[in-house]
Amino acid sequence: MPDLGKYAEAVLTSYAISLVLLAAIVLLSLRRSRRVKKELQEIEEKVKSNG
Amino acid sequence: MSRNSLWEYANPRKFLQTTDIVLPWVAWFAAVTLVLGLVWGFFFTPDDYRQGSTVKIVYLHVPAALMAINAWIMMLVASLIWIIRRHHVSALAARAAAPVGMVMTVIALLTGALWGQPMWGTWWAWDPRLTSFLILFLFYLGYMALWEAIENDDTAADLTSILCLVGSVFALLSRYAVNFWSQGLHQGASLSVQSGERMAMTFKLPLYVSMAAFALLFIALVLVRTRTEIRARRMRALLARERMGGA
Amino acid sequence: MRAGGGFGLGLSFFLIVVVLVPFGVGPQTAILSTIAPGILWIGALLACLLSLDRIFALDWEDGSLDLLATSPLPMEGLVAVKSLAHWLTTGLPLVLAAPVLGVLLNLPGPGFGWLTLSLFIGTPALSVIGTFGAALTVGLKRGGLLLSLLVLPLYVPTLIFGADVARRGAEGLETTTPLFLLAGITCGTIALLPFASAAVLKVNLR
């Protein structure tokens, strides 16, 4: 860890918050993508078996 | 025969097929450059003699701020393409980009405030740059809220596109208005490292890498989210057909 | 062509907001004098905002908006008339009420004229921008909050320059630049925004 001096709080919080936010949008996007893909597959199966 | 090969990707199926191949690469490059840029910037750069170690925040703040604006520009272009050529993928891509742009804006705001804190002595100051980003944040919120509020897909696409157009004009107007408005402040140095000040290569190189990383990350996320929107739209269409056919 | 009222309500709201401010910030004359131009501008702006959903609401509900859309009158013209009606019934009364309420907030003497002038020039922009927002949310059941979220950021430039004119005028400073910029925004929005509003209405009436 480099010596951040008196600004350690500001710098570390910046990195922490940014990484958390980036991780959040990535995870949420992936999770929704998976969910919708699964739901679409289920509906397409149902339509295929009905029609 | 396609007249303009780029427009082929406006076809939802073609888009999904193409991004099946492209997306993993973009995501991988995004991850690599992000780690490279941030690790390099955080661990292997010196302090600035004026700003101390807070200069390390630049590797987050500047890329995020750039993408916050670029995301809106991309939404503007996508909205225009929807209005003119009615390609659904374009409208969905604009919708997909908004949350990502908003997150970039928030990162820019928070890192900007944290960067300024040692300089200003307060956790927030109405610095013209930060204020403009705060307004941009509100524009993102409004845009996303309008998409959520309208049920009909095409109506929502039309209304949000027009909002994006009008909003872009006002965003520019606000930028100038805020600069004018903040002239009365007797603040210390405003938030900037690179404008008007030569930045040494030791800082510039990791910054460029970070900027590339954020751009790639934005692209990857928009691709993922657009694919989701395409699938969701297809799902809604199938459900609607089921409801009508089943009766 | 009904404007939907809101005249008395807008004024009452303006009064209430102005009365609330000293309770919030304290009764010291010096403080109130300083913030009076800005508070009066914000109060007028919010009063405008609250009456926006009435611009199209009644005509939308009873179907007369559909009828008007099929008339030979271009949609842009209809929208412009609606904006004008909103300004005459909501904006203009606020302009006239502002100096009266300025007394309550210890607005400095020279400020009265500049405040009124800035509101007179700025409130038409608020009506036109508000019409755009109202058109966007016309079909929505409880679109009031969304309307505010969409319109308030668009109000920022007008507010910045308008309040700046009022503030500088109150301090006896030069007001030419913000005044011209304010007028420019108003003229620009009047000239261009009705086209966007018309396009939006046509979409919503499909």
Please answer yes or no on whether C161 and B177 come within 8 Å at the CB atom: yes
User: For residue C57, is it within any domain?
Assistant: yes
Count of domains for chain B: 1
Percent of chain C residues past pLDDT 90, beyond the cut:
84
* Interchain contact, B159 vs C156, CB within 8 Å: no
CA distances from C157 to B25, B42, B174, C154, C206 (A): 43, 38, 5, 7, 32
pLDDT of B187: 52
Region class of A38: left (phi > 0), else alpha (psi between -120 and 50), else beta = alpha
Residue B234 lies in a domain: yes
* Contact status of B165 with chain C (Cβ, < 8 Å): yes
Residue B163: inside a domain, yes or no?
yes
Average pLDDT over residues C41-56: 94
Q: Which pLDDT band holds residue B194 (cuts at 50, 70, 90)? A: very low
Looking at residue B198, what is its pLDDT? 65
pLDDT at C70: 87
Q: Which of B130-134, C25-29, C33-37, C69-73 shows the lowest mean pLDDT across its residues?
A: C69-73
Q: Does B165 contact C206 at a Cβ distance shorter than 8 Å? A: no
Asked if the structure places residue C163 within a domain, the reply is yes
State the pTM of this model: 0.93
Distances in Å between the Cα of C167 and the Cα atoms of B126, B172, C37 are: 18, 24, 6
Q: Looking at the predicted structure, is the pLDDT value of residue A51 above 80?
A: no
**How many domains does chain C contain in total?**
1
Q: Is there an interface between C and A (3+ Cβ pairs < 8 A)? A: no
Residue C8 confidence class, pLDDT cut points 50, 70, 90: confident
Query: In this complex, is the C-beta atom of A20 within 8 Å of any C-beta atom belonging to chain B?
Result: no
- pLDDT greater than 80 at residue C179: yes
Instruction: Name the residue range of residue B32's domain.
Output: 24-43+52-182+193-246
Q: How far apart are CA C154 and CA C134, in angstroms?
A: 13
- With CB atoms and an 8 Å threshold, state whether C153 touches B159: no
Give pLDDT tens digits for C180-195.
999 999 999 999 999 9
Please check whether residue C1 lies inside any domain of the structure: no
Strand partners, B48: B52
Polymer length of chain A: 51
The answer as to whether B95 is a domain residue is yes
CA dist., res. C139 & res. C51, Å (int): 16
B3 lies in a domain?
no
Distance CA(C107)–CA(C112), nearest Å, equals 7
Q: Is A41 on the interface with B (CB under 8 A)?
A: no
Domain assignment present for C26: yes
Alpha carbon distance C156, B75 (integer Å): 22
| B166, two tokens | 């009008």
**Residue of chain B with shortest Cα separation from C197:** B162
Written as six digits, the tokens of C123 are 């409130």
Any domain includes C2: no
Q: Is residue C162 part of a domain?
A: yes
- Domain range for C117: 7-204
- Tens of pLDDT, residues C75-128: 999 999 999 999 999 999 999 999 999 999 999 999 999 999 999 999 999 999
